[in-house]
């Protein structure tokens, strides 16, 4: 039931002053597919769904599905802290043509381990789509421990794990307890090769917005036995990764896409534009990699 292997891009959403810039979104999808991305993730964290209406989220997923035209899988972000609402969004994503779901842990109101199991179990029962569970405790305040993953991955619809805890010891134990049950994806661009070494299947990447071919090649090099080449690529790109996370995502990646000529429009409050110091450092790194003038 693996949805994809390789590099999936956490697509940034281009906005207008009053809505979604669909023309630019279609261009982004084409840019990704032409450059080897293995899956498209619409309305993940990088897509700013927290500031979108339900209708905007549905329309973005529909646009990405239509633009991709079945060439690679489309995974729809549907996570939230109200299980009933998450299920409603999941059903809308299935109706829009998504191939899978990405669901973050419930945030703010939090829950116990039993609540995590009940929440994701209810979501998994609600549609026909495979699910990638997304663990990013720095944003949600909730962490999925390895033993909870083990229980969750017994459900046939839970097909993958996006691990962005940054805790390698936890990821090792998660990989041990879930191997053969769910695909493991890195949720941190600076830890792709380390997770691949634990049996991972790829990455759900922010950096792939601007370097899709590079991220695809790095993963495939490792999976095809070219481990040294993959490791060198991971080390080479680290300064750019640091620049892209020098302010909260997706502020820098949308700025970087603008530098490349994509009309990304405004960020939505409470996100604001980059400061001068971090902007200039990002610009220098983009030039270093030949991504802009």
Give catalytic status of residue 214 as yes or no.
Answer: no
Catalytic residue among 157, 162, 181, 254, which? 162
53 a known binding residue? no
Residue of 134, 149, 214, 279 with catalytic role = 134
Exposure string of 154-169, with b = 16+ CB inside 10 Å and e = fewer, is ebebbbbbbbbbeeee
Residue 222 appears among annotated catalytic residues: no
- From residue 179, give the alpha-carbon distance in Å to each of 68, 124, 164, 238: 30, 19, 18, 28
The answer to whether 204 is a known ligand-binding residue is yes
- CA–CA separation, 230 and 180 (whole Å): 23
CA distances from 120 to 1, 2, 93, 146, 162 (A): 17, 18, 16, 15, 14
Q: Which residues are annotated as a binding site for pyruvate?
A: 46, 204
Where in the sequence numbering do the catalytic residues fall? 134, 162
Q: Which residues are annotated as a binding site?
A: 46, 204
């Amino acid at each position: 039931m693996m949805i994809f292997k390789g590099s999936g891009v956490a697509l940034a959403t281009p906005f207008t002053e009053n809505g979604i810039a669909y023309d630019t979104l279609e261009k982004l999808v084409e840019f990704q597919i032409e450059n080897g991305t293995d899956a498209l993730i619409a309305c993940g964290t990088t897509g700013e769904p927290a500031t979108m209406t339900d209708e905007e989220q549905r329309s973005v997923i529909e646009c990405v599905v239509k633009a991709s035209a079945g060439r690679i899988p489309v995974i729809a972000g549907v996570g939230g802290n109200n299980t009933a609402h998450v299920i409603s969004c999941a059903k809308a994503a299935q109706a829009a043509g998504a191939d899978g779901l990405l669901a973050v842990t419930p945030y703010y109101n939090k829950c116990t381990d039993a609540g995590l199991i009940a929440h994701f179990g209810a979501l998994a029962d609600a549609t026909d789509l495979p699910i990638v569970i997304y663990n990013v405790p720095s944003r949600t305040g909730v962490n999925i421990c390895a033993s909870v993953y083990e229980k969750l991955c017994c459900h046939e619809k839970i097909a993958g794990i996006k691990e962005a805890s940054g805790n390698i010891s936890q990821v090792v134990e998660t990989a041990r307890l879930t191997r053969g049950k769910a695909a493991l994806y890195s949720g941190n661009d600076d830890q792709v090769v380390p997770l691949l070494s634990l049996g991972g299947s790829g990455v759900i990447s922010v950096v792939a917005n601007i370097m899709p071919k590079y991220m695809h090649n790095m993963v495939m090099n490792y999976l095809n036995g070219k481990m040294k080449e993959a490791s060198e690529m991971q080390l080479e790109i680290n300064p750019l990764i640091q620049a892209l996370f020098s302010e909260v995502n997706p502020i820098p990646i949308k700025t970087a896409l603008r530098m490349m000529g994509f009309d990304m429009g405004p960020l939505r409050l409470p996100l604001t534009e980059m400061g001068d110091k971090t902007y200039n450092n990002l610009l220098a790194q983009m030039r270093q990699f030949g991504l802009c003038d």
